[in-house]
Amino acid sequence: MSDTAARLEEKIRDGSARVGILGLGYVGLPLSVEFAAAGLPVLGFDLAPGKVEAVNRGESYIKDVPSERLAPLTQAGRLKATTDFEALGECDAVVICVPTPLSKTKDPDLSMVVEATKSIAARLRSGQLVILESTTYPGTTEELILPLLTEGGLRVGHDFFLAFSPERVDPGNDRFSTRNTPKVIGGFTEACLRVARALYGRAIDTLVPVSSPRAAEMVKLLENTFRSVNIGLVNEVALMCERLEIDVWEVIEAAASKPFGFMPFYPGPGLGGHCIPIDPFYLSWKLKTLDYRARFIELAGEVNSAMPEHVCARVADALNDRCKSVKGSRILVLGVTYKKDIDDVRESPALDILRILERRGARVGYNDPYVPQLDHNETRLESQELLPALAEADAVVIVADHSSYRYREIVDAARLVVDTRNATRGIVSDKIVKI
Ligand SMILES: NC(=O)c1ccc[n+]([C@@H]2O[C@H](COP(=O)([O-])OP(=O)(O)OC[C@H]3O[C@@H](n4cnc5c(N)ncnc54)[C@H](O)[C@@H]3O)[C@@H](O)[C@H]2O)c1
C-alpha cells in the first residue's frame, strides 16, 4: 500500500478529507447530505446556479431530502455548493453524479461525464480519489475516464485513485435510502478499492466490493435490465390476458402466493424515470460494438415502449363503447410522474399518453399533487383542480397511482376510468376499464 493511499485513508478516517460531489441532482444531493452527516466536509458542484444557491440556503429541491436535514448541515458549514470548479483541486475525493441520457438515436450520451471528468483532470493532483457513480456501459471508467485523468502524467493506483460505484437510489422509497442501500464498489487497483471503501464506509452501512470498475458497471446494468425485462414480460402477459379475458392483476396476485421461485412485477402504462427506460440501452449499445445483439433488452424495450399507445387504444375503445370518439373528448390524466408518490416526470409515460391523445384530437388536461405545472408540446399545462376536472372529463386515465388519491371518490365522480395501475382494486363499477 503506497504512502499516498495510506495518507488519504487516514484523512478520510479522521474526518479531514474534503469530498467534492459533481452534479447535485437526485443522486448527488442525497449523497452530499450523507457524507456531510457522517462528518466529512462536502463541497457540491453544479452548473445550475439555482441549485447551488438553494443548497447554500439550506433549501432542498429533492423530495427525498427534507430541508430540515439539509439546512443544519449548510448552517454548520459542513455542506457548501459552488459553480466554481477551481475548488475541485481542494477536494480529496471527487464523486461524479452527472446525467447519462441517450441521444436522439438511442446511443449513450456521455458528454456530461466527459465534461465533468475534464474539469477534474485539469486540477488533478497527487492524493485524490475520483469515483464515477453515473450509470454507464461496462468499460467506461477504464476506457473513457482513465485516459483523461492520466493525460497529465499522474499514475492511477499510485498518485491518484479511481473507482466506479453505481448509485442505486430508489426515489420515494421510505425504507431504503442512500445510507442503508448496500453499495457496490469496483476499484481500478487494490489501493483504489481500499480508499474508495474507506470513503463510502463513513456514510454507507454495507459495502459490496467487486473485482473491477467494469464488473461494478455491469452490476448496475444487470439490475436495471432485470427490471426492464420482467416489466416487459408482465406487460406482454397483460396483453395476453386481455385477449383471453382474464384479469391479469388477479393472476399476478395469486402467482405471488408462491413462496419461492416467483417475484411479482406489475403491468403499467410504460416505463419512466432516468434509469429503467435508458440504462439497458447503454448495455445493448456496448454489445453492438462487439457484434452481439442483446435480444432480451431490445424485445423488452419494444413491448414497454408500445404501452402508452396501448393505453390510448384502450381509452379509444372505452369511449367508443359509450358512442364517443377520442376527437373532441375531454380526457384527464391522473398522476403524470413516472411512478407514484414522487415528483419526477422524466421519461414519464404520461407525457406520451398526453401527446398521443392530443394528436388524436382529445382535449387533454391533468391533475397531479406533485406537479403543479407541466411542459407539454411547447405549451405549459397547469394541474387542474381535481373535482371540477373529474366532473368535466369524458374519460379519466390513472397513470401514476399516488397514495393521496381517494379512488372511490374518483370513480364516483368520473364518467369513465381507465386504470393502468390497478389503483381501483376492490372497487366494483362498470365505469372502470383496466389494463
Ligand atoms: N435518479 C435516479 O433515481 C437514479 C438512480 C440511480 C442512478 N442514477 C444515475 O445517476 C446519474 C445522475 O442522475 P440524476 O438523476 O441525479 O440526474 P439529475 O439530472 O437529477 O442531476 C444531475 C446534475 O448534474 C448537473 N451537471 C450536469 N453536468 C455537470 C457538470 N459537468 N458538472 C457539474 N454538474 C453537472 C446537472 O445540472 C444536474 O443538477 C445518472 O447517470 C443516472 O442514470 C439515477
Q: What is the pLDDT of residues 151-160, one digit of tens each?
A: 999 999 999 9
Nearest atom of ligand 1 to the alpha carbon of 26: 16
Q: Are 70 and 42 in contact (CB under 8 A)?
A: no
What is the rounded average pLDDT of the residues 13-23?
Answer: 98
Q: Does the annotation count 91 as an active-site position?
A: no
> Which cell numbers in the block locate residue 161?
485513485
pLDDT value of position 53: 98
pLDDT of residue 1 exceeding 70: no
pLDDT band at 381 (very low <50, low <70, confident <90, very high): very high
Each residue's pLDDT tens digit, 52-98 = 999 999 999 998 899 999 999 999 999 999 999 999 999 999 999 99
Distance CA 166, CA 151 (A): 25
Distance CA 278, CA 301 (A): 9
Nearest atom of ligand 1 to the alpha carbon of 166: 7
pLDDT value of position 213: 98
Nearest atom of ligand 1 to the alpha carbon of 344: 1
Nearest CA to ligand 1 atom 33: 46
pLDDT band at 170 (very low <50, low <70, confident <90, very high): confident
Separation of CA 3 and ligand 1 centre (Å): 33
Separation of CA 208 and ligand 1 centre (Å): 22
Separation of CA 44 and ligand 1 centre (Å): 12
CB-based contacts of 46, cutoff 8 Å, min separation 6:
22, 23, 24, 25, 28, 52, 81, 83
- The one catalytic residue in 91, 192, 241, 275 is 275
Dihedral sign (CA 383, 389, 392, 397): positive
More confident residue, 169 or 191: 191
Nearest CA to ligand 1 atom 26: 23
Each residue's pLDDT tens digit, 199-245 = 999 999 999 999 999 999 999 999 999 999 999 999 999 999 999 99
pLDDT band at 404 (very low <50, low <70, confident <90, very high): very high
Each residue's pLDDT tens digit, 299-320 = 999 999 999 999 999 999 999 9
- Per DSSP bridges, beta strands 330-334 and 395-398 are parallel
pLDDT value of position 274: 84
Ligand 1 pocket, mutate which of 31, 167, 227 (most atoms under 8 A from CB): 167
> Which cell numbers in the block locate residue 354?
398526453
Q: What's the mean per-residue pLDDT of the chain?
A: 96
Each residue's pLDDT tens digit, 117-152 = 999 999 999 999 999 999 999 999 999 999 999 999
What is the rounded average pLDDT of the residues 92-115?
Answer: 95
Residues within a 6 A CB radius of ligand 1: 22-28, 45-48, 51, 97-100, 112, 115-116, 134-135, 167-169, 171, 274-275
E strand residue ranges, 97-176: 129-132, 161-164
